[in-house]
Structure 1
Amino acid sequence: MDSLTQFALGAAVSTACLGKTLGPRKAALVGGVLGTLPDLDVFLPFDDPVDSFVFHRGWTHSLIVHALAAPLIGEVLVRLFRALRTQRLWVYATVYLCFATHALIDAITVYGTRILWPLYPDPVGVGSVFIIDPLYTLPLLAAVIWALFKRDWGRGFARGLTAALVVSTAYLGLSVVLQDRMEARARTIFADAGLAPERVFAIAAPFTTLVWKVIGLEDGRYHNLYLSFLDDPDARPRIYTHARGADLARCLDETPAFDKLAWFSRGFYRVEWVDDRIVVSDLRMGLTPGYAFRFAIARETGDGATVAIYPERDLSHRRNADGDVDWLLARLQGRPAVRMAEDLSPDPDGPVRRMC
């Protein structure tokens, strides 16, 4: 999630645990700092942009590492604040909760988080909320702003803080239920269209859980379907089908950057030629064709062969195509709308450039 949300969650958790002892203001500030610490891994050096992409939210987001770090940082707090010296174990637990809740809400987003590293090295990415979701953040932020203006604990404040934590947590739980419903609905729509994707994955749209992007993955192609909870039950939204570049991916055997991207994306990737370079996109983040994470990892040589290159972020496509804002607003209202950027994409079954 975004840094503001992580600060607000950490502050709310810390205030709930330590607010009576430290006072709401100090507890909120302490928790806000703790809630942002795991994201300091963005300052760690990585070998290349692909490593920076796939290894973010790594060991600093591990619940196991958090359990080891909590007593160390907790002890610093105990020595820093005299009021906490009789509550050492509770302070340790609070630090752990601030760290762990950071990792767990990150895992609810689609990016993925290695919450059980090193026992389970693969990232967990549910995808039921976008990285910025006001409906989740605003209750927590309201409680934290309240805390920052209070020096003493009070019954009314305690009730408000509890309500903020309950409502925000319930919203995350609801998002998982909604995601399951959208995937079930998408399977029905795909089946009615004569399609049988091997995997179906619903991902919350930016800033909302009203609209969902559903990816139906096949070996050689993938299908995008955009569903709204306000859709007419009898409507059948447009299915956009695109080439996935599975044959081209075979040119990348034994290419470390490709192996990392295929692993991290859990197979939801697309491979394509962009000029004389082979670009790999993570299908889960962003919209066709301007995905948020696109990497050029190989190029064409003069004799027609391909060779691995130092990975580079590919920015040849705009993140938002013309008409996307109007299209999204229409889908938020449940109105049918054609996304022109995908409607004009090449026919996935048409002629393609040579594979290697």
Structure 2
Amino acid sequence: MDGLTHALLGATLAQLPSPRRCPLGPGQRLGVGALGGLFPDIDYALFPRWPLEFLAYWHQGPTHSLLLAPLWAGLLALVLRLHPALRARCRELFLLLFIGILSHDLLDALTGYGTQLLSPLSAVRFSADLLFVIDGYFTLLLGLCLAVLYRRPGRRVVLLPPLAYLGLLFGLKQLALYQGGAPVAIPQPFSPLYWQLIDPHRQRSLYLRLAPDPVAVLVSSRLGYPGWQQGYQAGPGARWQPYGPSSADPDWQAEVAQAWRHPALRPFRDFARYPYLYRLERHEAERCVWFSDLRYDWPALPASFRYGLCHRAGGDWRLYRMRYLSERRQRL
């Protein structure tokens, strides 16, 4: 999830312990909880140096582990207690930081990325495919909860709206799976009423609209993606589209197969759950083969996970990535 949502959730949950158990003020709880909610994404420091390996193997690994959460909370608590006002509050700091870190780990596991909750004992990624990485409705509900709890700490009942929203998402996901007859449903940006259905056995997918969402249409248009809604189909007549890491163009088939099997692309192959051929490019004497993952592909928006190999006739393949929300490429 995005950093704002993580910070809000950590700060919100930090208001729940009773004053007897945690005699810190609402402002202190807010800051410490938000820090715990943000901390696991400190692993992003590795992204600029090794972007593909980071996404494939390291991100949402040790810093997102439930098993290591007490360690990170303890280390952060020792650092924070250096502040004179917090010197005697190590136990309380540990509690709030631990809650915030756990909230981050479990929230990420609700998205489609996949979180290594049992790292370093296991590299298995847990993913509920329930929340998109940015969900304005969920973030707004958390903000309202925090506003109430900041004035009235300990009122656990105010958490019911965001929990009910997660229940609604689960129900909408089951409805999408039922309507499409697919084994996989991936949440989409802007609206809980829009889903991507994937049938990995037949390597086909479709974008499904359960019902119109005028708020999502307005938001997508304001953000510069007015054609977003047109990419989603409604009703039993929705048509599936094939996907996969191959090429129907006979002039490219050998190069696509060679690029897909290239050792430099191994981290992409290890990470991608639903890989497909994103683009074939020819720049004068250079030819490029690009791949992406359906989890990061949406109508009218540029895919965010795009890696490719380029070469000249008789030359070696070179690995590139496309920058987020851009067509600019960067050599790795």
Q: Deviations over 1:308-338 (max 9, x none)?
A: 31332268987xxxxxxxxxxxxxxxxxxxx
**Conserved 8 A contact 2:78-2:90:** no
* Match of residue 166 from structure 1: 160
CA distance in 2, matches of 1:164, 1:138: 13
* Match of residue 183 from structure 1: 177
Q: Are 2:271 and 1:277 aligned?
A: no
**Conserved 8 A contact 2:35-2:97:** no
**Conserved 8 A contact 2:188-2:195:** yes
Question: What is the aligned-residue identity percentage?
Answer: 25
* Match of residue 317 from structure 2: 308
* Match of residue 2 from structure 1: 2
Q: How does 1:55-70 map to 2 (within 5 A)?
A: 55-70=58-73
Q: Which amino acid aligns with 2:143?
A: L
* Match of residue 30 from structure 1: 32
Q: How does 1:1-356 map to 2 (within 5 A)?
A: 1-17=1-17, 21-44=23-46, 47-54=49-56, 55-77=58-80, 80=83, 85=88, 88=91, 91-146=93-148, 150=151, 154=152, 157-159=153-155, 162-187=156-181, 200-218=183-201, 221-229=203-211, 235-246=235-246, 250-252=257-259, 254-270=261-277, 272-275=279-282, 276-287=287-298, 290-296=302-308, 298-303=309-314, 307-313=316-322
What is the TM-score normalised by the length of structure 2?
Answer: 0.75
Deviation at 1:200, TM superposition (A): 3.3
CA distance in 2, matches of 1:255, 1:32: 42
**Conserved 8 A contact 1:128-1:209:** no
Deviation at 1:26, TM superposition (A): 1.6
Deviation at 1:13, TM superposition (A): 1.2
Distance 1:47 1:264, change over 3 A: same
Distance 1:204 1:123, change over 3 A: same
Q: Deviations over 1:121-145 (max 9, x none)?
A: 1332322111121221222212334
1:167 counterpart SS class? helix
Deviation at 1:101, TM superposition (A): 0.8
Judge which range, 306-315 or 78-87, deviates more.
Answer: 78-87
**Conserved 8 A contact 1:301-1:307:** yes
**Conserved 8 A contact 1:245-1:272:** no
CA distance in 1, matches of 2:324, 2:47: 22
**Conserved 8 A contact 1:113-1:123:** yes
2:295 counterpart SS class? coil
Deviation at 1:170, TM superposition (A): 3.5
Deviation at 1:5, TM superposition (A): 0.7
Q: Which amino acid aligns with 1:66?
A: A
Q: Deviations over 1:66-101 (max 9, x none)?
A: 12222232344456476784782x543332221011
Distance 1:165 1:74, change over 3 A: farther
**Conserved 8 A contact 1:139-1:167:** yes
CA distance in 2, matches of 1:315, 1:273: 19
Can you give the 5+ residue segments of structure 1 that lack an aligned partner in the other structure?
A: 188-198, 319-356
Q: When the two structures are aligned, how many residues end up with a matched partner?
A: 293
**Conserved 8 A contact 2:277-2:291:** yes
1:258 counterpart SS class? helix
Q: Which amino acid aligns with 2:172?
A: L
CA distance in 1, matches of 2:114, 2:93: 28
CA distance in 2, matches of 1:143, 1:243: 41
Can you give the 5+ residue segments of structure 2 that lack an aligned partner in the other structure?
A: 214-233, 248-252, 328-332
RMSD of aligned alpha carbons: 3.3
Q: Which amino acid aligns with 1:119?
A: L
CA distance in 2, matches of 1:237, 1:317: 33
1:312 counterpart SS class? strand
Distance 1:263 1:288, change over 3 A: farther
What is the TM-score normalised by the length of structure 1?
Answer: 0.70
* Match of residue 219 from structure 2: none
